[in-house]
């Protein structure tokens, strides 16, 4: 028999309640790789072994149960199981867990094939608390890419992978770990620390594994205190077995555990003994129980709709229903709750549609990161995004897919949107902002879209987008360090790579606004200041990856070096685009122009080129830096914040700048991309 690609190692002891589900999840796997199944039963006395033996006779993959032996214990049972596997890769499934994605083996083996330097690959997992029925998706790291590398040192900082059942190992490296690893109590963390001596680990971001935390679990059945004490006892042994390789990181972990135990002791001293577990359980059981996500169909839907939810209990079900009632029905609907503290989860749990998969995060990670988490779970050809307080018109997806059918070269289709109040009714009177037509855009070439973004900011309705999933894999996911403009950052990258289409006269999204200005995009002083700073961040890599043709298409009429051909000439051309492009963001762009031109003047070759070609020298930079734009930028921020950013400016501020309340009133009905120009005009009249 030829060597299989993958050995699935099932490690079990007295798992009669769960072994059927575990084995069924193996049988459901769809993969192009060859598979064998090895079942290492550790002297079960409850019928687990008999179930495994019957399953092995009819399994869709070659399967065998290792010979019966006296109780070995967890670590020794793993040792004999690993030794019995003959595949190039070994995937582990513990008998009380299961895989909840039919692609689990395929995804991990493909990652190991594509990255031969990796020693292991893990997937995200669903922590299922059997006592309460609650589920949380973990880990939350790896939210900005489709494969996250993790070094041995970073694994020593924290056990990011959490369970054997989420892991697949490269067999040749597993054979090379120290034999002493199996002489001590070694959990999944220890095996990962040992094998990553030979290559990094990686996290595949799909949630593919369900890890049951139940009272009978070797690890999950322990209390937090017991786990901390057990680890504190084991780490010195781990340090010795690993030969001192990770002593610094593991010492930090020990200090953290010691601190945790001290805090627990102080808390108990202040508040008395721990609450009775039965009383605690009755309280926990009131928590919402989400249906367990299971992907049993290998067929992929056409569209994956993603929605992130945070404290939108009043609107979230209505938003979801606008997705599920779409005239186009071949979709999956992925909902990620970003640790809501209201009743959102309970309301979402009542959705009854097989197309829905829901994930609750164990902590609040931020809007862009939660959206990335959702996109990472998608399986469709296209991805659509909806906000949890907005609504779609019923034919939205059908209309956008028709555009893709007509124009297969486009990468994304956006639509117009119309604004509603809190109750979903059209805005009236002074609630209608002057910028309510911001999404009513004509179609433009890629270069012209790039120019629009540079000079005017964003005008694409984020909850209207339908985008090819492969595009996210190409240009990357959202940057969670940005709060106001993560979508603009992606649209800049998008149009540099592909054409887009905008249905600018079709308002297919109902965009809910709040009088309290609680929207993430509301015109609050904090949001305005943050928007300014985030624009400066986006400008730093604005032209990165833009082709020469794209630059000439968008900015040919203002290029001071229109026939640039060398890298240096291109740098000079782009530096002055920041200076010469007219639009509401000109004052912000001038800051980037100063940075770029100064950088060129510090380069002797560039300095000669600038002087000979367009007469620019140090004096030009001095004059540019001394113009009012820089002062107005600082004044704009001070006026908006109602405070002074530098000592000694208070008197100047009172004389030179309008009060923050008057500025805010003026901004109330002005589109965000025109704020810099409006404020600049007001400041010009005052200075």
Flag the least confident range among 81-95, 217-231, 254-268: 217-231
Sign (positive or negative) of CA dihedral 272, 277, 283, 287: positive
Q: Give yes or no for a contact between 583 and 456, defined as CB atoms under 8 angstroms apart.
A: yes
**Residue 422 domain boundaries:** 303-519
Q: What is the pLDDT of residue 217?
A: 63
* Residue 544 vs residues 244, 450, 469, 492, 497: alpha-carbon distances, Å: 43, 12, 22, 10, 11
Percent of the chain with pLDDT over 90: 74
Same domain, 167 and 48: yes
Q: What is the pLDDT of residue 264?
A: 86
Q: What is the pLDDT of residue 221?
A: 62
Residues 412-434 have a mean pLDDT of 87
Q: What is the pLDDT of residue 500?
A: 98
Same domain, 199 and 258: no
Residue 285 resides in a domain:
no
pLDDT tens digits, residue range 497-535?
Answer: 999 999 999 999 999 988 765 555 556 778 888 888 899
The torsion angles phi and psi of 7, rounded to 5 degrees, stand at: -105, 125
pLDDT tens digits, residue range 13-53?
Answer: 999 999 999 999 999 999 999 999 999 999 999 999 999 99
Last residue of a domain, one of 196, 220, 244: 220
In terms of Cα–Cα distance, which of 74, 43, 38, 64 is closest to 171?
Answer: 38
Residue 298 resides in a domain:
no
Same domain, 553 and 591: yes
Residue 288 resides in a domain:
no
Higher-pLDDT residue of 283, 190: 190
Q: What is the pLDDT of residue 276?
A: 46
Please state whether beta strands 412-420 and 382-385 pair in parallel, antiparallel, or not at all (unpaired): unpaired
Q: What is the pLDDT of residue 296?
A: 74
Dist. CA 497–CA 499, nearest whole Å: 7
Residue 459 resides in a domain:
yes
Last residue of a domain, one of 519, 552, 581: 519
Q: Give yes or no for a contact between 131 and 281, defined as CB atoms under 8 angstroms apart.
A: yes
Query: At residue 644, does pLDDT exceed 80?
Result: no
CA atoms within 13 A on the CB side of 142: 28
Q: What is the pLDDT of residue 652?
A: 35
Query: At residue 684, does pLDDT exceed 90?
Result: no
Residue 515 resides in a domain:
yes
pLDDT tens digits, residue range 35-44?
Answer: 999 999 999 9
Dist. CA 638–CA 646, nearest whole Å: 9
Q: What is the pLDDT of residue 363?
A: 95
Residues 540-547 have a mean pLDDT of 96
Same domain, 216 and 240: no
Q: Which helix (H) or strand (E) holds 101?
A: none
Query: At residue 642, does pLDDT exceed 50?
Result: no
Q: Give yes or no for a contact between 322 and 345, defined as CB atoms under 8 angstroms apart.
A: no
Dist. CA 435–CA 500, nearest whole Å: 22
Residues 6+ positions from 276 with CB-CB distance below 8 Å: none
254: pLDDT confidence band, cut at 50, 70 and 90?
A: very high
Same domain, 197 and 267: no
Same domain, 328 and 470: yes
Same domain, 472 and 410: yes
Same domain, 213 and 228: no
Query: At residue 283, does pLDDT exceed 90?
Result: no
104: pLDDT confidence band, cut at 50, 70 and 90?
A: very high
Q: At what angle do helices 486-497 and 525-539 cross, to 10 degrees?
A: 30
Same domain, 370 and 489: yes
Query: At residue 654, does pLDDT exceed 60?
Result: no
Query: At residue 171, does pLDDT exceed 70?
Result: yes
Residue 297 resides in a domain:
no
Same domain, 682 and 641: yes
First to last CA, the chain: 85
292: pLDDT confidence band, cut at 50, 70 and 90?
A: confident
Considering the entire predicted model, what is its pTM? 0.89
Residues 6+ positions from 239 with CB-CB distance below 8 Å: 246, 247, 250, 251
Q: What is the pLDDT of residue 660?
A: 43
> Domain count of the chain?
4
Same domain, 556 and 500: no
Dist. CA 30–CA 61, nearest whole Å: 11
Residue 171: which CATH number? 3.90.550.10
Same domain, 27 and 156: yes
């Amino acid at each position: 028999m030829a060597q299989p690609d993958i050995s699935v190692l099932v490690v079990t002891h007295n798992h009669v309640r769960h072994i059927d589900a575990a084995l069924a999840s193996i049988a459901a796997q769809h993969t192009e790789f060859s598979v064998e199944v090895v079942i290492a039963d550790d002297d079960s006395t409850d019928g687990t072994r008999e179930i495994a033996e019957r399953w092995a006779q009819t399994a869709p993959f070659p399967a065998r149960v290792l010979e019966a032996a006296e109780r070995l214990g967890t670590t020794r049972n793993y040792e004999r199981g690993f030794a019995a596997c003959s595949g190039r890769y070994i995937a582990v499934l513990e008998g009380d867990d299961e895989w909840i994605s039919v692609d689990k083996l395929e995804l991990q083996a493909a990652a190991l094939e594509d990255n031969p330097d990796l020693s292991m690959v893990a997937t995200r997992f669903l922590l299922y608390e059997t006592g309460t029925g609650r589920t949380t998706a973990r880990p939350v790291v790896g939210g900005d890419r489709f494969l996250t590398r993790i070094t041995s040192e970073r694994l020593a900082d924290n056990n990011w992978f959490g369970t054997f059942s989420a892991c697949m190992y490269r067999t040749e490296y597993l054979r090379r770990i120290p034999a002493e690893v199996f002489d001590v109590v070694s959990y999944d963390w220890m095996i990962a620390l040992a094998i990553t001596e030979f290559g990094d680990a990686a996290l595949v971001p799909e949630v593919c594994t369900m890890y049951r935390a139940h009272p009978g679990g070797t690890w999950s059945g322990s209390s937090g205190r017991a786990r901390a004490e057990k680890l504190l006892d084991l780490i010195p042994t781990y340090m010795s077995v690993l030969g001192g390789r990770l002593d610094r990181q593991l010492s930090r972990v020990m200090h953290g555990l010691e601190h945790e135990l001290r805090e627990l002791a102080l808390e108990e001293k202040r508040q008395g003994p721990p609450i009775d577990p039965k009383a605690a359980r009755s309280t926990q059981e009131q928590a919402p129980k989400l249906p367990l996500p299971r992907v049993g169909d290998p067929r992929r839907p056409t569209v994956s709709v993603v929605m992130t939810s945070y404290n939108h209990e009043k609107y979230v079900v209505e938003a979801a229903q606008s997705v599920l009632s779409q005239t186009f029905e071949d979709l999956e609907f992925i909902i990620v709750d970003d640790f809501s503290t209201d009743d959102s989860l309970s309301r979402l749990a009542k959705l009854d549609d097989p197309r829905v998969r829901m994930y609750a995060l164990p902590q609040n990670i931020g809007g862009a990161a939660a959206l990335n988490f959702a996109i990472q779970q998608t399986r469709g050809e296209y991805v659509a995004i909806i906000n949890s307080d907005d609504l779609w018109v019923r034919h939205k997806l059908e209309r956008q897919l028709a555009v893709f059918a007509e124009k297969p070269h486009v990468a994304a289709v956006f639509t117009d949107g119309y604004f509603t109040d809190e109750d979903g009714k059209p805005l009236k009177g002074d609630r209608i902002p002057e910028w309510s037509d911001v999404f009513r855009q004509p179609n433009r070439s890629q270069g012209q879209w790039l120019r629009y973004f540079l000079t005017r900011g964003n005008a694409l309705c984020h909850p209207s987008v339908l985008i090819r999933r492969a595009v996210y894999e190409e240009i990357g996911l959202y940057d969670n360090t940005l709060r106001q403009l993560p979508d603009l950052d992606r649209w800049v990258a998008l149009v540099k790579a592909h054409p887009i289409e905008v249905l600018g006269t079709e308002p297919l999204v109902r965009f809910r606004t709040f009088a309290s200005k609680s929207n993430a995009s509301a015109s609050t002083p904090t949001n305005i200041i943050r928007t300014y700073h985030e624009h400066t961040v986006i400008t730093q890599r604005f032209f990165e990856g833009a082709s020469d043709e794209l630059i000439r298409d968008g900015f040919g009429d203002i290029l001071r070096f229109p026939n640039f051909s060398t890298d240096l000439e291109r740098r000079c051309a782009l530096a002055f685009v920041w200076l010469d492009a007219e639009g509401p963001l000109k004052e912000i762009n001038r800051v980037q122009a100063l940075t770029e031109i100064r950088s060129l003047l510090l380069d002797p070759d560039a300095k000669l080129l600038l002087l000979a070609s367009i007469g620019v020298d140090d004096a030009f930079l001095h004059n540019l830096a001394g113009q009012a734009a820089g002062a107005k930028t600082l004044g704009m921020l001070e006026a908006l914040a109602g405070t002074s950013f530098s000592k000694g400016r208070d008197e100047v501020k009172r004389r030179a700048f309008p009060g923050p309340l008057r500025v805010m009133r003026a901004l109330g009905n002005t589109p965000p991309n025109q704020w810099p120009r409006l404020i600049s005009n007001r400041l010009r009249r005052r200075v």
